[in-house]
């Protein structure tokens, strides 16, 4: 049994053929090139059929297709909401892709990126052997893929895991309205925002005038060079990551929390400090049972998750 895995991002599509032991037979990338709505659906269908032909030419029989999407996948309807793909509010991706394949016995399975990340880590990464584990994805935004008793937590309408909205700082402030308190303070965009707030009118980080388009990377670079303000900015994020870990641990009693996304990355070096902060807040027995680790799969977590989605059952 072989499966096709597709990982759709906001700007590119990654695709791979997995053999049954979970090895990548071949892998390719396609830029979305400003495609919108149905054009993105068409790219996915064309890519899938290309890989099906290529698999047939090397006598690999494809049994299923797994697809990871940057948003919400509705299990009941097979439709997808993806904020970064224009016109994908309730896009009938499952039906469209299933119809585009000539062999109707090949099943198409779709799930959200955060669900795929934790599935990927369970299959081939740092959550192998876990029944209860969480992938905390910290990039531009923040989301969590949550594995409960070997199943991904979906919620009543498939939008569970929206941890960017977690409240950590009473009382409520207007600035949390667009993205939530945790994401405001500790996402990639959040770190840049907090940096701008803390710099005030000076706009100086590590004695350099900082450009308008200050990014989290600038803050991490300044931190590496010993900048005092950057230390404070990072300390603010560590406190938030630690509290989020604590709240996840008290609620879910997981075996592992896996950190991924662009920020982890450079923030992986702070895992011990994050644990130390979490230990203050969390249920005291549960916190001793959890391990914090970085993603083993990095940018391929979604692709592996899509592979496992297709492979399992």
- Interface with its own copies by CB under 8 A: which residues? 130-132, 144, 146, 148-149, 151, 153-172, 176, 180-181, 239-240, 243, 246-247, 250-255, 277, 280-283, 285-286, 289
Q: Which is nearer to its own copies, 58 or 159 (CB)?
A: 159
Q: Which is nearer to its own copies, 86 or 167 (CB)?
A: 167
What's the rounded Cα separation, in Å, for the pair 269 and 285? 25
Burial category of 262 from C-beta neighbours within 10 Å (exposed 0-12, middle 13-18, buried 19 and up): middle
Residue with tokens 């099906």: 52
Q: Could you give the dihedral angle defined by the CA atoms of residues 123, 129, 134 and 136, in that order, rounded to the nearest 10 degrees?
A: -50
> Closest distance between its own copies and the C-beta of residue 8, in Å?
21
Q: Which is nearer to its own copies, 72 or 311 (CB)?
A: 72
> Closest distance between its own copies and the C-beta of residue 83, in Å?
12
Contact 116, 297 (CB under 8 A): no
> Closest distance between its own copies and the C-beta of residue 25, in Å?
34
Indicate the DSSP class of residue 200.
Answer: T
> Closest distance between its own copies and the C-beta of residue 48, in Å?
29
What's the rounded Cα separation, in Å, for the pair 239 and 175? 19
Across-strand partners of 104?
none
> Closest distance between its own copies and the C-beta of residue 258, in Å?
14
> Closest distance between its own copies and the C-beta of residue 46, in Å?
32
Q: Which is nearer to its own copies, 116 or 146 (CB)?
A: 146
Q: Which is nearer to its own copies, 13 or 246 (CB)?
A: 246
Q: Which is nearer to its own copies, 100 or 253 (CB)?
A: 253
> Closest distance between its own copies and the C-beta of residue 84, in Å?
17
Q: Which is nearer to its own copies, 173 or 208 (CB)?
A: 173
E-state strands within 79-131? 80-81, 107-112
Which residue in 197, 195, 245, 200 sits closest to 220, CA to CA? 195
Phi, psi of 65 (to 5 degrees): -125, 130
> Closest distance between its own copies and the C-beta of residue 171, in Å?
7
Q: Which is nearer to its own copies, 47 or 236 (CB)?
A: 236
Indicate the DSSP class of residue 97.
Answer: H
Task: Name the helix (H) or strand (E) containing 308.
Answer: helix 301-311
Largest CA-CA distance found in the chain, in angstroms, rounded: 64
Q: Could you give the dihedral angle defined by the CA atoms of residues 166, 278, 135 and 184, in that order, rounded to the nearest 10 degrees?
A: 40
């Amino acid at each position: 049994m072989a499966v096709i895995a597709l990982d759709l991002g906001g700007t590119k599509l990654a695709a791979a053929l997995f053999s049954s032991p979970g090895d990548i037979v071949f892998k390719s990338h396609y830029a979305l090139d400003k495609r919108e709505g149905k054009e993105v659906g068409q790219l996915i269908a064309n890519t899938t059929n290309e890989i099906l032909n290529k698999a047939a030419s090397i006598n690999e029989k494809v049994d299923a297709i797994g697809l990871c999407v940057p948003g919400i996948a509705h299990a009941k309807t097979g439709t997808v909401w993806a904020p970064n793909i224009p016109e994908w509010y309730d896009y009938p991706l499952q039906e469209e892709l299933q119809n585009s394949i000539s062999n109707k016995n090949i099943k198409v399975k779709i799930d959200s990126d955060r669900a795929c990340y934790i599935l990927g880590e369970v299959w081939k990464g740092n959550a192998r052997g876990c029944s209860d584990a969480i992938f905390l994805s910290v990039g531009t935004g923040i989301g969590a893929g949550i594995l409960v008793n070997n199943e991904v937590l979906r919620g009543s309408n498939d939008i569970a895991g929206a941890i960017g909205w977690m409240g950590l700082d009473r009382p409520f402030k207007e600035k949390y309205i667009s993205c939530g308190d945790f994401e405001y303070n500790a996402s990639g965009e959040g770190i840049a925002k907090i940096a701008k707030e803390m710099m005030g009118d000076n706009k100086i980080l590590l004695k350099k005038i900082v450009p308008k388009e200050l990014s989290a990377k600038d803050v991490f670079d300044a931190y590496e060079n010993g900048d005092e303000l950057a230390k404070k900015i990072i300390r603010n994020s560590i406190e938030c990551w630690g509290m989020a870990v604590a709240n996840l641990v008290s609620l879910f009693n997981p075996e592992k929390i896996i950190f991924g996304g662009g920020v982890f990355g450079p923030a992986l070096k702070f895992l011990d400090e994050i644990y130390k902060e979490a230990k203050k807040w969390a249920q005291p027995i549960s916190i001793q049972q959890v391990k914090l680790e970085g993603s083993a799969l990095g940018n391929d977590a979604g692709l592996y998750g899509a592979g496992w989605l297709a492979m399992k059952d």
